[in-house]
Amino acid sequence: MTSEQSQNSTPKKGLTRREFVAMGLGGAALAACGLYLWPRLSRPKWREQTFIGKVPDYRADITGVILSGFKELGISPGEIRGKRILLKPNLVETDLGAIHINTHPAVIHGAGQAFLKLGAAQVIVGEGPGHCRDTLMLLEESGLAAVLWEDRIPFVDLNYDPGYTIRNPGRYSSLTQLTFPETLRQVDWVVSLAKLKTHHWAGVTLSMKNLFGVMPGSYYGWPKNVLHHAGIEGSILDIVYALKPQLAIVDGIVGMEGDGPIMGAPKQAGVLVMGRNLPAVDATCARVMGIDPRRVKYLAAAERFLGPIRETEIVQVGEGVAGVRSPFQLVDFIPAHKALLPLI
């Protein structure tokens, strides 16, 4: 063995400063790469459907559009027959003639009739309004009371329903427990019957945020201030994760833009958006509104464990997003809105 070979084969007793720094930088780069790639490597591979139906106004055959959506989504009579269905609309406040604030009674009627045509044993409507404590006045002034009476569909005020408490399985908010109304344990399907709106605090309020209304005001206050204090985005994720609703139908025939969910202006979008997976539905709704769903905090978080928000993982049936997109106005001095800019 030559002296040169002997030197090359002998292990070094230590590292030079340059070698130590180079190894440290390499390790840091690998760690950073791992942190960057880990959420992408670990997230589920989603494949969910959403349906968009064009509906020009509230006089249209909404029942027929929803039944078409059921067919496209693979919801058959065999799946619905004998089931008890809870429709959870968005009822906030009343302003006579302001059809952009609440889920329209015609959409609630259409959804109820569609489920009954597929053989549902019973359809009930349940809501826990967050702002108006006089639920009877809200039902009357919104026009929903007349529709429920005509259709013989019972209504449950979820604000005062007896509650049952479970451990919070998600813990995305500071809440350790969640209290749901007892009615939710007596039904087979929970359907989020939301409104297409911008939102002062959450950016957008769609099928996921709509489920704040199932949380009883007698436990969570008005306007569900316990959930606000625990963190709006985290509470949205916790409720959806724990409740696991079976369907979302979003009333985008006339939505709300600007300073929603109450003070905004009417926005004619002319669509109903439906699907079994709420993040997929809300991501599709956001794109209809001209908003990148990745900029909505709770949607960006939801794709890690609740459902897809990427277009490549959402199978669009019915109308395409591009054909119905109608950008909603955002208010640039509202922080939650500013975070959604620029529009796509």
Domain ranges in the chain?
15-44, 47-338
Task: Identify the pLDDT of residue 16.
Answer: 57
* CA 224 and chain centroid, separation: 17
Give start and end residues of each alpha helix (H) in the chain.
3-9, 17-42, 62-72, 77-80, 105-117, 135-142, 144-151, 217-220, 225-230, 232-243, 278-288, 297-302, 321-324, 335-338
Is pTM beyond 0.85? Reply is yes
Q: What is the pLDDT of residue 98?
A: 85
Q: What is the pLDDT of residue 33?
A: 43
Can you give the pLDDT at residue 227?
96
Report which DSSP code applies to 334.
S
Name the stretches of the chain with pLDDT < 50.
1-13, 20-22, 24-41, 343-344
pLDDT value at residue 138: 87
Q: Specify the pLDDT at position 309.
A: 98
- Return the CATH class of domain 47-338: alpha beta
> How far is it, in rounded angstroms, from Cα 134 to Cα 43?
44
Which three-class secondary structure state does DSSP give residue 197? strand
The string over 100-122, giving b where at least 16 C-beta atoms fall within 10 Å of a residue's C-beta and e elsewhere, is bbbbbbbbbbbbbbbbbebebeb
Alpha-carbon span 167 to 247, nearest angstrom: 23
Structure tokens at 16: 């030079």
